[in-house]
């Protein structure tokens, strides 16, 4: 990164309640690794130790997401909701003066840039509607990680093995790109290992979200000698 590169402050909102600050910051660190001009601030909502594994959990989590997102949005250049359901994205985008990006729309859009027969992979609750809507007729096949009722299962040895098996099934179904529909698959670390063995691209939803957020925060990729402008609310 050169001295003239603008630093983008990106808020990363986690919908999985975590006690360890290092764990909370994991998705932000992944983004910073791929985009050195992005600096992340990560926080998580309370009272959701299993994340948002169902529609009922999403309804319960939404007030927390809106409250925390509104607070974070006043301190950053863009806000990323690190969940493939994109909960609260549209409401926060209307409310805030900064771009609000969800992992679901990001991974779907990125997958379409890599292929035309997209396979999705998620928890047992299925593929989020936001991803289905964007992919449309390009959705070739869907798979779930067997036994993954919540994101916590994805970090277990059994969950990692089941993830690899599911991606193999997507390849056998004729998919030419995989769009993981759960950011917990980034947390598990399995995507990098599986990508080494797969013959088709596997889009990391957190990396895709970081790319979309960085682009939205600085249209056209312009550089400046000044630091990024904060969007403060009175």
User: Which class does domain 105-204 fall in?
Assistant: alpha beta
User: Which class does domain 8-102+208-221 fall in?
Assistant: alpha beta
Q: Please report the pLDDT score of residue 222 as a whole number.
A: 45
Region of 64 (left: φ > 0; alpha: ψ -120 to 50; beta: rest) is alpha
Asked if the domains at 8-102+208-221 and 105-204 fall in one CATH topology, the answer is yes
Q: Tell me if residue 8 falls in helix, strand or coil.
A: strand
Q: Which residue has the tokens 């999705």?
A: 120
Closest by CA to 108, choosing from 90, 124, 121, 93, is 121
Q: Please report the pLDDT score of residue 141 as a whole number.
A: 97
Task: Give CA–CA dist 38/81, Å, rounded.
Answer: 16
Residues 37 and 7: beta-carbon distance below 8 Å: yes
Task: Tell me the pLDDT tens digit for each residue of 143-167.
Answer: 999 888 888 888 888 998 999 999 9
Residue 116 dihedral angles phi and psi, to the nearest 5°: -125, 0
Q: Please report the pLDDT score of residue 56 as a whole number.
A: 86
Cα angle vertex 23, ends 233, 157, to 5°? Answer: 145
Task: Give CA–CA dist 178/180, Å, rounded.
Answer: 6
Confidence (pTM) = 0.88
Question: Could you state, in order of their start, the residue ranges of all structural domains in the chain?
Answer: 8-102+208-221, 105-204
Q: Please report the pLDDT score of residue 5 as a whole number.
A: 64
Task: Give CA–CA dist 107/161, Å, rounded.
Answer: 22
CB atoms within 10 A of CB 33: 11
Q: Please report the pLDDT score of residue 170 as a whole number.
A: 96
Taking 70 as the pLDDT cut, the residues of the chain under it are 1-5, 218-234
């Amino acid at each position: 990164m050169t001295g003239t590169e603008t630093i983008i402050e990106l808020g990363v909102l986690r919908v999985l309640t975590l006690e360890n600050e290092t764990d909370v910051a994991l998705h932000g660190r992944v983004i910073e690794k791929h985009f050195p001009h992005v600096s992340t601030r990560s926080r998580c909502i309370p009272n959701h130790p299993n994340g948002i594994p169902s529609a009922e959990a999403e309804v319960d989590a939404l007030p927390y997401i809106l409250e925390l997102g509104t607070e974070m949005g006043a301190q950053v250049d863009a806000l990323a909701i690190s969940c493939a359901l994109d909960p609260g994205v549209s409401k926060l985008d209307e409310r805030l003066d900064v771009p609000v990006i969800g992992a679901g729309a990001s991974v779907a859009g990125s997958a379409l840039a890599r292929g035309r027969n997209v396979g999705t992979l998620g928890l047992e609750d299925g593929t989020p509607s936001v991803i289905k809507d964007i992919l449309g007729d390009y959705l070739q096949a869907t798979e779930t990680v067997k036994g993954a009722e919540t994101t916590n299962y994805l970090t277990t040895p059994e969950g990692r093995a089941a993830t690899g098996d599911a991606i193999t099934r997507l390849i056998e179904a004729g998919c030419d790109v995989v769009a993981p529909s759960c950011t917990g698959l980034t947390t598990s670390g399995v995507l990098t290992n599986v990508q080494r063995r797969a013959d088709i691209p596997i889009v990391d939803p957190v990396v895709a979200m970081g790319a979309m957020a960085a682009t939205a925060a600085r249209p056209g990729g312009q550089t400046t000698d000044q630091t990024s402008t904060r969007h403060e609310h009175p």
